[in-house]
Structure 1
Amino acid sequence: MCAREYLTFDDTWAGYLRWAHRLPPAPPPVTPRQVSGIAEIIGDFDAVILDNFGVLSLGPPVIPQGAAAYECIRKAGVAVRVVSNDGSKGIAAMCESHRARGYLFEEAEIFAGISLLEDSLPPSGNGYWAAIGLDPSLIPAGAVDVRAWPGEEADIDGAAGLLLLDCDDFWRKDFAPVLESFKRHPRPVIVGNPDLTAPYSDAMSLEPGYLAHQLADETEIRPIFLGKPFAPVYELAMRDLAHIPPERVLCVGDTLHTDVLGGRARGMKTLLVETGFTRGKDPLALAEESGIWPDFIAPSI
């Protein structure tokens, strides 16, 4: 974690407000109901969509209330989907990480923006794409040639497009050559992780969404965002649960502009927890400022 660049809450929040025009429009306001946690309301729903960072974990550490909440959800017999914006690893690796924390999800219950990569990348033969945060195992067979940038085999000026997956040890200052290249020659940009930040136990990291919006500000490019709050990842996650009315689905998350906005834009109910991005802040004040209102607010899941 020491290699990552960190953001402040104020910097990240200002970004979410400044770039809201690239997100789905905010649904009509609702009056949030304060609850103790998911156990208080689970009986009103037939499916639950869970975020990971800030809800189940803070990176490696598990949210203390997570184990009891997991057991409560399983005992209620509701369908479970974990929808993450993590662009650093594949679904199998995500499943292993959850299991190591005591959450026994199946791979078929886990979805992420990168689940849409196969349908988003062009076929091979169209030149190579540069990728920031590349894990080669994420690239589907038959897709375009994808090369890690920075790297010896990827010249940013020669790339046919840019794939933003994970920042890890990549900092904002490292992005300057990419910005200059894409200003001179606009090309497609696909963002596997639309988050601006991820809440770790003691800091908030820089994530690809921040870089993508910065690039969009300085070019005429409209990035393709694959994860929350955009509709396709929800459609994929709920494909086998289409018989459940949206109002019987509860989306649990820690961020208004991703988890709450994405769920409410699909007609689902939302629970904002205060253990991640919003920790130490007044959630009602944030909802008022952003115009994005959750149906429920709880101290933790």
Structure 2
Amino acid sequence: MENIKEIKKPSPSKAPPSGGGGGIHVFAPATVANVVCGFDVLGFAVNEPGDEVIMRMANKPGITISKITGDDGRLPLNPAKNTVSVSVEHYLRSIDRLDVGVDIELHKKMPIGSGLGSSSASTVAGLFAIKTLLGDESDPSALLPFAMKGEEMACGHGHADNVAPALLGGFVLIRSYEPLDVVRLPHPAGLWCAIVFPDVDVPTREARQIIRKNIQMKDAVTQWGNIAGLVSGLFMQDIDLIGRSMKDVLVEPVRSMLIPDFYMMRQMAMDLGAVSFGISGSGPSVFAFTRDEETAKRITQKLQQHLTNIKIGSNGYVSTINDAGPRVLG
């Protein structure tokens, strides 16, 4: 367990001013947020998919975005409107390095609007790239507030349940937002994740708007018990307890209506040996925990076949929990 109780500002870099043409290629992973019962407070990183950023030093101050691929033209090249460049600018301003100039290439290797933290992966890749280029040796957790600025731009709410696991790797609990208190949780080594992204549109902003604002006390008590049970199961390496605890009585009943055949897919996954099943983030992606890779592959294939049968395309991914977070590719 790693408890990051205080997010400190990165130390000013000792790197020279911009120029010289050096570059770096960074990958940052997709994430599963909420983890069924942990709305806005739980998330974990996976090995695939993810996004990539290539960042090069420029000869004059400022941030430019020269190329974006894999987005079908949906993302802005304007650095004032892109989550990657906005987050990088906040970081540079915090360390008093607005003399730095960088050029950014963003390569989307994961679907936009998938519920897998697409904007988070891009933002984290950009922040990790600039931190590395400038020789900033502070703890990566110091980048979290800047990554949350990107989330605020992307979906109107600066939550951390995607960006924290993308940045830190592993399974993460956001214990508090004011002040920001992030806890990295243990997890069973044998836990596998099957992810299926149905090709339907569930925008995050709209998905947040349909959530109930008032809840009954009995539902709140049920949810608290499930969150506590899930965290306990992670610490105890008890996959059965993890499965029993992954039930959501607050958010899933509403958001599931936006996902075709959600309950049918859940029953299919459980019949095939899933430990648990739920919505990834705001959807439409769904995920299942399993005890082994073979079961995860079988669930992914069967769910994708079902979606094909009802004329919906999909992407599928099978992964363990990614404990590494972002990494330099070259």
The TM-score normalised by the length of structure 2 is 0.25
Give 1 or 2: higher strand fraction: 2
The TM-score normalised by the length of structure 1 is 0.27
Larger radius of gyration: 2
